[in-house]
A = this chain, B = another copy of it.
Amino acid sequence: MAEGMLWLVSLGPGDAAHLTPAARQALRQAELVIGYAAYLTAIEPLLAPQQQRQPFALGEELVRAETALRAAAAGRRVALVSSGDIGVYGMAAPLLQCLERWPVAQRPAIEVVPGVSAVLAAAARLGAPLGHDWCCISLSDLLTPWSVIERRLRAAAAADFVIALFNPRSQTRTWQLATAQRLLLEQRPPGTPLAVVRAATRPDEQIERTTLAELQPERVDMLSLVLIGNSQSRWLERWLLTPRGYREEQP
């Protein structure tokens, strides 16, 4: 039997200029490419006709993972893809959650290819919002109790982290972002800089520069990231700056 291989490939934020050579190489080597349908459409120009595509609907992450594992274990060269960095709310975790149930001897070889996470692409558009300690919090309460998410929001606000909110809002999760906004406003000033970055680096990119108090949650969708500054963050024309420390420095 051929030696199977499974690459977990990070596709980056969208523009091919931010896809790493390692990711491109993994895609090129794969016989079978598995992923959410919209991602496969996005990388279609990078694939050759003879490479097999296996698109999946949204959700179905564990089925996607199991499919990829089985194909690689059967000797195929497989790429499982996620946008951004595959380790950040992408397919890497569900893949390992599936792998955990496999007998050790049957587990295929796996390589994780890192990439430019959506949060880094959004931050680059804004300048330096992540210039000091920061955190990522997903507002999806599908697999995580809201109480856990709420505890993290409160902790991040109290400890003055820069906060990146993933999955801020979808058609079915409509109240979480407004609740998060209210919780954060209990501990952060209303004028705290906040940016909503939608589809960073893609042709339909949109950036909204506002404040924690003035955020309009209903204008945010599932393609957006919400970035919230710390107590030192400030706007500089279109740039958002979080200084790298709390002590004054002079050049």
Contacts and interface: CB of A to CB of B under 8 A. Distances in A.
Contacts of A49: none
Contact of A133 (B25, B152, B160): B152
B160 A158 contact: no
Contacts of A63: 251
A239 interface: yes
A120 B60 CA distance: 25
A217 to B, nearest CB: 20
A228 to B, nearest CB: 13
Contacts of A117: 117, 120
A241 B65 CA distance: 14
B124 A246 contact: no
B121 A114 contact: yes
Interface in A124-165: 124-125, 127-138, 142-145, 148-149, 151-152, 154-156, 158-161
Contacts of A114: 13, 18, 116, 120-121, 123-124
B93 A143 contact: no
B130 A87 contact: yes
A115 interface: yes
A80 interface: no
Interface in A91-128: 92-100, 104, 107, 110, 112-117, 120-121, 123-125, 127-128
A129 B95 CA distance: 12
A132 B20 contact: no
